[in-house]
Structure 1
Amino acid sequence: MNGAESLVQTLTDQGVDICFANPGTSEMHFLKALENPRMRSVLCLFEGVCTGAADGYYRMKGTPASTLLHLGPGLANGLANIHNAKRASSGMVNIVGDHSAAHLKYDPPLMSDIEGLARPLSHWVRRVESARAVAGDVTTAVSKASEHPGRIATLILPGDASWQETGIDGTPVAPPPAAAGTKVPDAARIEHIARVLRSGEPALIILAGRSTRGPALEWAGRIKAATGCRIATQFFTARIERGVGRVPLERIPYAVGPAIEYLKGFRHIITVETTEPIAFFSYPDKPSLLKSPGTAVHSLIETDEDGAAGLRMLVEALDATNVAAVLQSGSVTAVPSGALGPTSIAQALAAALPENAILVDESLTTGRETMGLTAGAAPHDLINNMGGSIGYGTPVATGAALACPDRRVFCMVGDGSAMYTIQSLWTHARESLNITTIIFANNSYAILKAEYANMGAGAPGARALAMIDIDRPRIDWLAMAKSMGVPAVAVDTAEAFHRAMANSVHEPGPCLIEVRL
């Protein structure tokens, strides 16, 4: 057994059975080892698709995937979506190939400081020293990536450690000692929050992490019903279970002014697996912290603690175990008609979403009405971009679809963002993934026009607009999709948009809808 074979066997022994790969020369022995039938290998045509797909896989599966990246430049290509994954607390194991140890002294063209590239966005980095060390290093990497919250583990695999024999007979490596159970908040903190909520002063609980779904969300709904507090999320959240029959969550606005207005009535802000609200960017003469003066911020549950356990403890402290949570009611959403705009787009989506869908949102400006107008849609999961680096949507949808092959994924993305990682479409087609990609084609980076005004830079001139508009030439999205094997249709009315989405649910495999604005 060589090092590469040991690596793949150990990954699968530790429960990591999918690899999003973009291999190069240094990784040919790893590529050969990926023929192991226990490992599913998925080819991505850009490393940012690999790392984004691993992020999406973790968000829906809750266990880490692996990536295969080619030396320092390959890792660098994937870093933007590693950044987004880190902000979303997603776990992943990145395997970065490198030259053999004997070759490094000659300073070959692809040599770089891989550790230096990896460390700022990884929680754990290690270079494999020998083929025999591979199994132990991989075991540690998976253990680190599987912690709560999820971690980014990066393992550098020199070519000689990959091709040399391990001297081990293939016996699986024993897993590391079981980690301690997830921490829970201490009783004094729980009692303090209970006193705050009993005071009757206006309070807002902000949920994040794993507390926006499952039992944690149900406990939060009981707290709301028992105390009259309100519950919300930050504008961007890694994953929310929402729709009819689920506990509804408000959303703190993105823009500074509306966010300050939203928060000004609260005397207490209680955080669960997150921080107090801050502005996404700094602006001249605008605050970074969005709460009103005099508002107290209380941490109920830290990011490394068990949100469901902590919220249950708070319910018990409030004597609210028999209180029913307030759930989102539902109604049949009428199919909108006429022109396309943020409202009609959201209404069409609400009417078309099938039960148990996954909605990946990178729509920025066009989809700004989506959250409010789809609250009463069929039960679904919503995924947002936590790190702000665009080009996350179509790769994350890739991973989500592979994690949940029985669920339809809708990926809403602006045309500017889509061009960062449009190669995802090719993987959608190759793997026959059930993904409906919705491209909002307004032929500009529309979000930047709004930010230009927010920054107080005045009216953009012709040269500034030339750096924001992407209409010369216009991108042919139908041809783009066709070239990568994805059926596509263009729509320019609300009725046509709804019809295209509804049709996509009944056809297996991927499709693309260009929404012409």
Structure 2
Amino acid sequence: VCAGAADGYARMKGLPAATLLHLGPGLANALSNFHNARKARSPVVNIVGEHATGHLKYDAPLTADVEAFARPVSGWVRTADSPRHIGAAAAECVRASLGPPGQVASLIIPADYSWSEAGGLGAVVERPARRLPENARVDRAAELLRRGEGVGILLGGGAVCERGLRAAARTGARVYLNRYAGRAPRGRPWAFAPRVPYFPEPAAEMLAGLEHMILVEAAAPVSFFGYPGMRSTLAPEGCRMHVLAEEGEDGVAALEALAAGRAPAMEGPGAEAPGDGPLTPETIGLILAQLLPEGAIVSDEMVSSGEAVNQGLNRAAAHDLLPVTGGSIGQGLPVAVGAAMACPGRKVFALEADGSAMYSLQALWTMAREGLDIPVVIFSNRRYRILDVEMKRTGAGAIGPRAEQMIDIGEPAIDWVRLAGSLGMEAARAETAGRFAELVRAAVRSKGPFLIEAALER
């Protein structure tokens, strides 16, 4: 929860969040959400305690290779070499976390340094400036736009922001967002720029006809998994890639130079609320589109329900979307915690698959303890439905009873209302669209955490 909360805080603030973890096993517990933070390019200062230097040789139970644990998720790793150098090492750690782009920076500190004589404070860290892309790249992109030969622009990283989107819209090109950008403005004002779909078939359909793709702090789009008989790349064969801005460069400035003097895009349509009836991802998306407050933050870990709900949210008021960036589940609830701490005046919705929520459900206790303004929606289909889909896509055919049991989480059924109550959170269950809308209205009007179990068909 700590690692995911740091990620959510950093994504919303754009400033380093700090974590304090206990030796190698404590860091190991955080690796899953640090993986997502690394993919999100979130600036995180990760302080990890180590055994006292004289104790390491005894291989006590918590002894581990902490640096080895930290390297796969960190862009910078150091073990402090002296208590007198802690101040300088901490400043270097903060500086490293800022990049650009942002990254997890891990500083490992032996326990005996806390009771030894320290040195001075480190130097104040200034935010490093992003490099401006080469003018030749801007000129090349401008030439492509003048020709009008099936040109698309893919935004990622720091370019996925309101300024970047406005500038991209003014180019007149088709605009797409990297699906796994750490933070994305969504809703009616930004519906003109779709996120590249999860599955390769709809992604290929969306990108069909492109001859040139301009990359702005983004890599060429690829599918989440490799599938039999399918390409891993999503752009049409023969589509040429052109880098306007690399990660760490100022993609927004490059877009603004490219877009000077052009007309902006139009806002998308609003949503109509569905009548009472069955509760489905589609009806949930439409209800949220009508009721989501302007300026809300959405932590999205809906997994198999996500495409349908996000289609509805494209018609909502302007909001920020925080997706799962590295595919490591268990992120949604902790990221919502961090976002709420970073932006206490904004309503944070955690839209959470039931299976994913079980990886970090202690975050519900944190929400209650801190009184965070977070409505949580649990998409309760009592199944790892995404695994149904992915197994079929491999051509595996019908699955056997043991495999079927492994992806069924309905026996015993998880009672989310009672579980949330035991962790200090108010909760209720919705089985119809009308009841769900009623509960969302109540959650929007009130302050504090509230859990809604959305009972979906299995």
TM-score bucket of the superposed structures, by smaller chain: over 0.9
Question: Which residue identity does 2:429 align to in structure 1?
Answer: A
Partner of 2:445: 506
Partner of 2:179: 235
Partner of 1:308: 252
Is the alpha carbon distance of 1:508 and 1:180 closer, same or farther for their aligned partners in structure 2, counting shifts above 3 Å?
closer
SS at match of 2:154: strand
Question: Which residue identity does 1:369 align to in structure 2?
Answer: A
Equivalent pair of 1:351/1:498 in contact (CA under 8 Å): no
Spell out, residue by residue over 1:356-409, the C-alpha distance to the aligned partner (whole angstroms, 9 max, x if none). Answer: 100111101123212222222111111111100000000000000000000000
Question: Which residue identity does 2:230 align to in structure 1?
Answer: K
Structure 1 residue 296 displacement after superposition:
1.0
Partner of 2:367: 428
Note if 1:149 corresponds to 2:101.
yes
Find 2:133's aligned residue among 168, 178, 185. 185
Equivalent pair of 1:221/1:247 in contact (CA under 8 Å): no
Equivalent pair of 1:222/1:324 in contact (CA under 8 Å): yes
Counterpart Cα distance in 2 of 1:336 and 1:154: 51
Partner of 2:409: 470
Structure 1 residue 286 displacement after superposition:
1.3
Partner of 2:224: 280
Note if 1:403 corresponds to 2:342.
yes
Spell out, residue by residue over 1:157-192, the C-alpha distance to the aligned partner (whole angstroms, 9 max, x if none). Answer: 111011222155xxx43325x575311111111111
Find 1:99's aligned residue among 51, 55, 58. 51
Partner of 2:351: 412
Note if 1:175 corresponds to 2:124.
yes
SS at match of 1:310: helix
Find 1:213's aligned residue among 132, 156, 161. 161
Counterpart Cα distance in 2 of 1:500 and 1:343: 17
Structure 1 residue 70 displacement after superposition:
0.8
Counterpart Cα distance in 1 of 2:117 and 2:150: 65
Counterpart Cα distance in 1 of 2:355 and 2:264: 41
Partner of 2:198: 254
SS at match of 1:262: helix
Is the alpha carbon distance of 1:180 and 1:361 closer, same or farther for their aligned partners in structure 2, counting shifts above 3 Å?
closer
Counterpart Cα distance in 1 of 2:180 and 2:67: 30
Partner of 1:350: 289
Counterpart Cα distance in 2 of 1:216 and 1:252: 17
Partner of 2:144: 196
Counterpart Cα distance in 2 of 1:231 and 1:370: 21
> 5+ unaligned residues in a row in structure 1: which ranges?
1-48
Counterpart Cα distance in 1 of 2:61 and 2:167: 56
SS at match of 1:367: helix
Spell out, residue by residue over 1:333-353, the C-alpha distance to the aligned partner (whole angstroms, 9 max, x if none). Answer: 324420011211110110110
Partner of 1:359: 298
Counterpart Cα distance in 1 of 2:198 and 2:122: 48
Spell out, residue by residue over 1:223-255, the C-alpha distance to the aligned partner (whole angstroms, 9 max, x if none). Answer: 12xxxx210113333111122344631122211
Partner of 1:84: 36
Structure 1 residue 332 displacement after superposition:
5.2
Structure 1 residue 203 displacement after superposition:
1.4
Equivalent pair of 1:129/1:161 in contact (CA under 8 Å): no
Structure 1 residue 107 displacement after superposition:
1.1
Structure 1 residue 474 displacement after superposition:
0.6
Counterpart Cα distance in 2 of 1:149 and 1:499: 42
Find 2:276's aligned residue among 324, 337, 355. 337
Counterpart Cα distance in 2 of 1:219 and 1:247: 15
Equivalent pair of 2:4/2:334 in contact (CA under 8 Å): yes
> 5+ unaligned residues in a row in structure 2: which ranges?
none
Counterpart Cα distance in 1 of 2:207 and 2:119: 62
Partner of 1:324: 263
Is the alpha carbon distance of 1:167 and 1:265 closer, same or farther for their aligned partners in structure 2, counting shifts above 3 Å?
closer
Counterpart Cα distance in 1 of 2:236 and 2:265: 28
Structure 1 residue 220 displacement after superposition:
0.8
Counterpart Cα distance in 1 of 2:266 and 2:430: 34
Equivalent pair of 2:271/2:312 in contact (CA under 8 Å): no
Equivalent pair of 1:328/1:376 in contact (CA under 8 Å): no
Structure 1 residue 267 displacement after superposition:
1.0
SS at match of 1:512: strand
Structure 1 residue 257 displacement after superposition:
1.9
Structure 1 residue 466 displacement after superposition:
0.7
Counterpart Cα distance in 1 of 2:128 and 2:33: 29
Spell out, residue by residue over 1:434-476, the C-alpha distance to the aligned partner (whole angstroms, 9 max, x if none). Answer: 0111101100100000001011111112111111111110111
Find 1:515's aligned residue among 423, 444, 454. 454
Counterpart Cα distance in 2 of 1:193 and 1:391: 39
Q: Matches of residues 380-399 of structure 1 in structure 2 within 5 Å?
A: 380-399=319-338
Question: Which residue identity does 1:206 align to in structure 2?
Answer: L
Is the alpha carbon distance of 1:247 and 1:461 closer, same or farther for their aligned partners in structure 2, counting shifts above 3 Å?
closer
Is the alpha carbon distance of 1:104 and 1:394 closer, same or farther for their aligned partners in structure 2, counting shifts above 3 Å?
same
Question: Which residue identity does 2:219 align to in structure 1?
Answer: T
State which drifts further: 301-310 or 258-267. 258-267
SS at match of 1:439: strand
